[in-house]
Amino acid sequence: MEITMSSILDYQDYTMEMPITASELADGYSRQDGGDSLQDAFPTLDLDQRYFLMTGITPEEYKKEYGERDREILGSYFKFAFVRNPFDKFISEYNWRVECWRDSATPFSVFEQDDIPSFEDFILNVDNPLVYKNPNRTDEHFIPQSDFICLGNGEVGVDFVGRFETLQEDYREVCDRLKINFDGFQHLMSSGRAGGRPQYTPVLQKKMREAFKSDFDLFGYVY
């Protein structure tokens, strides 16, 4: 539906097409009044659309007003991010969900379950938005890491990409650049898991490479 808002910048009316119905809009505003975040209240809208609902500012108006200044400010910062091998990342995700389910009977997925799915089932559904992604909120764990650090043109938007596999060394590099003292990390909150480590069959490896192709291509991770 088309939604018209008055911009807080120039007080002119602007209209934006949004993938939402009038009843969903009313329900979202009600949830927001009840304390939900804008993201939770309007889960089907992207960042630009939610920002428009909040301010009446369109992406074009924002770019005209702030674009050049934002680029200058952002360019003056040292920007860094840390990534992890998706194969290891989702073994950790699976184990974490298993522990949460056992400790508090928290649903393993968005569906109520009486048992824990196999690791194979977990990976085969890793990109299924109807299973492991909460429909009322984007689950950051299932978004390719490259989406967080790449610009719209696909270029890396940070100055340094550290890796979980070399966390101590890479974090030290960050601290050195920022002239911050770093004495190393202590290993706290160890999971203490016993038993074998889940294995990726060739089929599961293929599934992961397809679901997180951008991460494997950009960061060069292998199994």
| pLDDT value at residue 176 | 96
| pLDDT value at residue 180 | 94
Query: What is the tens place of the pLDDT at every residue in 66-104?
Result: 777 777 887 889 999 999 999 999 999 888 888 877 776
Say whether 95 sits in a helix, a strand or coil: helix
| pLDDT value at residue 15 | 93
| pLDDT value at residue 113 | 56
Helix (H) or strand (E) holding 24: helix 22-33
AA identity, residue 140: E
Query: What is the tens place of the pLDDT at every residue in 168-221?
Result: 999 999 999 999 999 988 876 665 555 567 899 999 999 999 989 999 999 999
| pLDDT value at residue 136 | 42
Query: What pTM, to 2 d.p., does this model score?
Result: 0.66
Instruction: Give the pLDDT mean for 123-138.
Output: 60
Query: What is the tens place of the pLDDT at every residue in 139-165?
Result: 677 888 998 898 877 889 899 999 999
Between the CA of residue 223 and those of 132, 141, 204, 205, what are the distances in Å? 23, 19, 11, 8
* pLDDT above 50: residue 114: yes
| CB-based contact 165:85 (threshold 8 Å) | yes
Q: For the chain, give the mean pLDDT.
A: 83
- DSSP structural state of residue 156: B
| pLDDT value at residue 193 | 55
Query: What is the tens place of the pLDDT at every residue in 6-23?
Result: 999 888 999 999 988 998
Least confident of 1-10, 119-128, 168-177: 119-128
| pLDDT value at residue 202 | 95
CA distance 139 to 152: 20
CA distance 82 to 116: 30
| Residue 137: band (very low, low, confident or very high) from pLDDT cuts 50, 70, 90 | very low
| pLDDT value at residue 191 | 58
